[in-house]
Amino acid sequence: MTAHRSRTTRSGRLPALFTGVLVGVSAVGCSPSPADTVPTPPASARLADVGTAGAEGIGDTDFPKDGNGGYDVKHYSLRLDYDPERVHLTGEATIRALALQNLSRFNLDLSGFDVRKVTVDNVEASFDRAGTELIVTPKSLLKNSAEFTVKVDYKGRPQPVRNSSNLGTYGFIPTKDGAFVTCQPNGAKTWFPGNDHPSDKATFDFTISVPRGLTALANGEMEGAPRTEGNKTVFTWRERHPMATYLATMTLGKFETLTGKTKSGIPNIAAVDPAYRDDLQRLHRVNGQITDYWTTVFGPYPFSSTGAVVDDFDAGYALENQTKPMYGGFSPDEGIVAHELAHQWFGNSVSIARWKDLWLNEGFATYSEWLWSEHRGKGTAQELFDSAYKAQDEKSPIWSYPPGKARAKDLFNTSVYVRGAMTLHALRKKVGDRTFFDLLKTWAHDHRYGSVSTEQFIELAERMSSLQLDDLFGEWLYGTRKPKPLTR
Ligand code: ARG
Ligand code: ZN
């Protein structure tokens, strides 16, 4: 799916590694060697005939190699087999994409694994590896605007990302009975090849086989009942709404599941590791209540089911995996369930096109915790704002880290969450409840399944309130000093 920002212009800037436009495309009949005896066609004609290499990154300056240029993925079809005993994953990824330029070659992101074979439109393609880039050279040029299908066969031992800064461990994390799979920001490449950046969303289907007795949980809903084939069980899941790669999951292990519907009729799927058996009923109920409540505040639920997964792997965090938030090694309280479910609107349906804008996800989800507290008759959003404001004195690092510019090395800084939420509260006080809650719904509606930037949010807030909000956002999102107390 195409992101809001045009990628065709960005892929025009080819990184150094890819400046050799003609390398490897001699088959097209235009020799890369300086064959001075043959008249060289004009450069423009040459480019049209042979195409250029897709960029090795999608253009997120803070994560220069994440994602790739030159194409837009429409659909991922993943066939996966996992053997927990051998810690071995066998994968067959079929990716349908649209060329955004004449492509002589393009990259996929994939970390580790032994790649056995790559085909493009059913014709074997040559490929190379460079770090986490899988470089694919199709036999023939892919024309701008043409759809193509790339298939990658791979296998090996999945290796999660172990990040030394505050990202922790993420990606495909083998556990004692299966795997815990949470990929924010760029860990999808640890289990399937793709365009691993949230600005390229796509639909997914998963066919996952695991040893009999284990459960495979992925996004969306199951297609039919699990099938047993010999000593394996095969689960088929489908996510029919566009999804960022970091929200995809294939969580595996022993699980007890509870399926039903929320009061308003949304399918609701909860699954817990047997260690959390006693929490299953409560989690399922609370998850349904909160999902329903958010539909009254943010507008219609964007996906076809809601859910929650608790594994006994101690990740130290939760992640808003699309339709199935994942809780790593703890039974979540209402606050965190409210947070992860708010992400289904803010982050998952309305996605950021660059990581710098992460407050649009985390500030909104944290503010939603305050809204839930208020709804439950506990602390009001005002009280929670006041206590956060008071708790952080002038010297607190929250004030020197502007949440409107999330940093690659410290993406999940408290400022992005708490000061992001405070920004929304400051906005609410300034524009009034009516406009503020209208704004949340309009934002979720206008950008449903799309990609956004902070600039667009500010523009919408100014339009809907008819106020000049530069000072407010300047101070709260971009300033490096503690803002003055809100006037009421
Ligand atoms: N987005 C998650 C949340 O706010 C946090 C993810 C943390 N990810 C990580 N790799 N540490 O719930
Ligand atoms: Zn969050």
**Cα–Cα dist 286/284, whole Å:** 6
Closest ligand by atom to 168 CA:
1
Mean pLDDT of 167-184: 95
The confidence score (pLDDT) of residue 43 equals: 55
Considering the domain boundaries, does residue 356 fall inside one?
yes
Report which secondary-structure segment, H or E, holds 479: none
The confidence score (pLDDT) of residue 166 equals: 73
Considering the domain boundaries, does residue 189 fall inside one?
no
pLDDT tens, position by position, 130-174:
999 999 999 999 999 999 999 999 999 999 999 877 788 999 999
167, 190, 319, 366, best to mutate for ligand 1 pocket (most atoms within 8 Å of CB): 319
How many Cβ atoms sit within 10 Å of the Cβ of residue 128? 13
Between the CA of 17 and the centroid of ligand 2 the distance, in Å, is 35
Nearest CA to ligand 1 atom 3: 319
Closest atom of ligand 1 to CA, residue 417: 4
Considering the domain boundaries, does residue 190 fall inside one?
no
Q: In whole angstroms, how far apart are CA 311 and each of 220, 362, 400, 433, 451?
A: 18, 23, 36, 38, 30
372: its two tokens: 């839930």
pLDDT tens, position by position, 62-116:
999 999 999 999 999 999 999 999 999 999 999 999 999 999 999 999 999 999 9
Considering the domain boundaries, does residue 276 fall inside one?
no
Considering the domain boundaries, does residue 109 fall inside one?
no
Nearest CA to ligand 1 atom 1: 319
pLDDT band (50, 70, 90) for residue 19? very low
Mean pLDDT of 172-177: 96
For ligand 1, say whether the CB of 369 is within 6 Å of any of its atoms: no
For ligand 1, say whether the CB of 318 is within 6 Å of any of its atoms: yes
**Cα–Cα dist 346/422, whole Å:** 16
404: its two tokens: 């409107």
pTM: 0.91
Between the CA of 415 and the centroid of ligand 1 the distance, in Å, is 14
The confidence score (pLDDT) of residue 238 equals: 98
Least confident segment among 6-20, 37-51, 151-165, 220-234: 6-20
pLDDT tens, position by position, 265-312:
999 999 999 999 999 999 999 999 999 999 999 999 999 999 999 999
**Domain of residue 394, CATH code:** 1.10.390.10
Considering the domain boundaries, does residue 101 fall inside one?
no
For ligand 1, say whether the CB of 303 is within 6 Å of any of its atoms: no
Could you list the residue range(s) of the whole structural domain that residue 374 is in?
351-476
How many domains is the chain built from?
1
Considering the domain boundaries, does residue 290 fall inside one?
no
Least confident segment among 13-17, 176-180, 239-243, 293-297: 13-17
Considering the domain boundaries, does residue 400 fall inside one?
yes
Share of the chain above pLDDT 70, in %: 90
The confidence score (pLDDT) of residue 264 equals: 98
Among 355, 277, 350, which residue's Cα sits nearest to residue 312?
Answer: 277
The confidence score (pLDDT) of residue 39 equals: 52
